[in-house]
């Protein structure tokens, strides 16, 4: 419990979603009794008058902006315009009206997709502007990165208190397991589980399996966001990651093992690999607000697979 949160009114956009639901839980665990979660059917954050109505209704002291239009490589390739427009517009308007309504602090969640395609590994926050993002998700990554520019400009001109956090790829219970729109871990879990249950001899995975990724368990990410919201005050962005780098090929084999699927993996090399390597330097998060990830990839995958088995339709 934290005295900081007990008197705060907090808006969590995207608070009914995957990451947001865990952030809301963590806030309540810390003693925040007044959390407002705007639902899209009631507040379309792309519409200026609805953003204004949100601030008029909730009158928050603090905003945690998690709402985003997201997806895997396939969804990003299919909807680059939508992903750019929706994410930029929602964030720009939420920040602008937070300023106008004298919000004490704005916490903006960015994306690892904002980093340049060939960023030296591990990615350091100071490398964020040293090149163009990987093409398959550049529109989404750039839309989110513009919100960092906005927050830093508003801090400079208006003294607006906004912070920007960059989580690596998230996974965990309550994730999106739709094969058309999901990210790599839930898609692979679903494929392996369904193949095991139906006795399929093989499953198909995208690309070559050579790229590496880092994954952060969703509860660890939620803890980091709530901690940073309370204590971090600076303009510089902060990476949130686990420090575990794994190739997609090894990830597939690990999920296959944990699911108990014994079939073959066929790699469809006509599909894009995405960024060659992706892992973060998270030393700033430890230095600035004392946070480190606690959940290993194996343990996080085990929990995620169990959740999917318990909730599959």
**What secondary structure does DSSP assign to 171-222, as a single string?**
E-TT----TTT--HHHHHHHHHHHHHHHT-SEEEEES-S--EEEEEEHHHHH
The one catalytic residue among 55, 101, 115, 140: 140
d(Cα 212, Cα 184) in Å, to the nearest integer? 12
140 given a catalytic annotation:
yes
d(CA 203, CA 167): 29
Write out the two tokens for 46: 């792309």
Please state the three-class secondary structure of 238-291 as a single string.
EEECCCCEEEHHHHHHHHHHHHCCCCEEEEECCCCCCCCCCCECCHHHHHHHCC
- 170 SS3 class: strand
Question: In this structure, are residues 90 and 82 in contact, taking their beta carbons and an 8 Å threshold?
Answer: no
**Contact (CB, 8 A) for 155 and 173:** no
Catalytic residues: 140
């Amino acid at each position: 419990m934290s005295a900081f949160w007990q008197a705060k009114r907090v808006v969590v956009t995207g608070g009914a979603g995957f990451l947001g639901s865990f952030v809301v839980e963590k806030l309540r665990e810390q003693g925040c009794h007044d959390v407002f979660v705007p639902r899209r059917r009631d507040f379309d954050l792309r519409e200026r008058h609805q953003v204004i109505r949100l601030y008029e209704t909730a009158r928050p002291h603090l905003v945690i902006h998690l709402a985003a239009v997201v997806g895997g490589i396939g969804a990003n390739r299919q909807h680059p315009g939508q992903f750019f427009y929706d994410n930029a517009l929602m964030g720009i308007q939420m920040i602008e009206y937070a300023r106008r309504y004298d919000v004490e602090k704005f916490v903006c969640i960015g994306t690892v997709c904002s980093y340049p395609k060939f960023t030296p590994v591990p990615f350091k926050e100071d490398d964020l502007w040293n090149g163009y993002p990987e093409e398959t998700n550049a529109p989404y990554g750039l839309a989110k990165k513009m919100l960092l520019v906005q927050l830093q400009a508003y801090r400079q001109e208006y003294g607006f208190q906004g912070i920007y956090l960059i989580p690596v790829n998230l996974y965990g219970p309550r994730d999106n397991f739709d094969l058309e729109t999901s990210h790599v871990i839930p898609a692979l879990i679903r494929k392996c589980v369904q193949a095991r249950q139906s006795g399929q001899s093989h499953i198909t995975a995208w690309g070559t399996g050579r790229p590496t990724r880092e994954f952060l368990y969703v509860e660890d990410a939620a803890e980091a966001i709530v901690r940073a919201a309370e204590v971090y005050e600076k303009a510089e962005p902060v990476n949130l990651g686990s420090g575990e780098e794994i190739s997609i090929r090894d990830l597939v084999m690990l999920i296959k093992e944990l699911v108990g699927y014994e079939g073959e993996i066929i790699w469809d090399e006509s599909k894009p690999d995405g960024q060659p390597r992706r892992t973060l330097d998270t030393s700033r998060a430890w230095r600035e607000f004392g946070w480190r990830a606690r959940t290993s990839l194996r343990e996080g995958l085990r929990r995620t697979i169990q959740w999917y088995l318990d909730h599959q339709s």
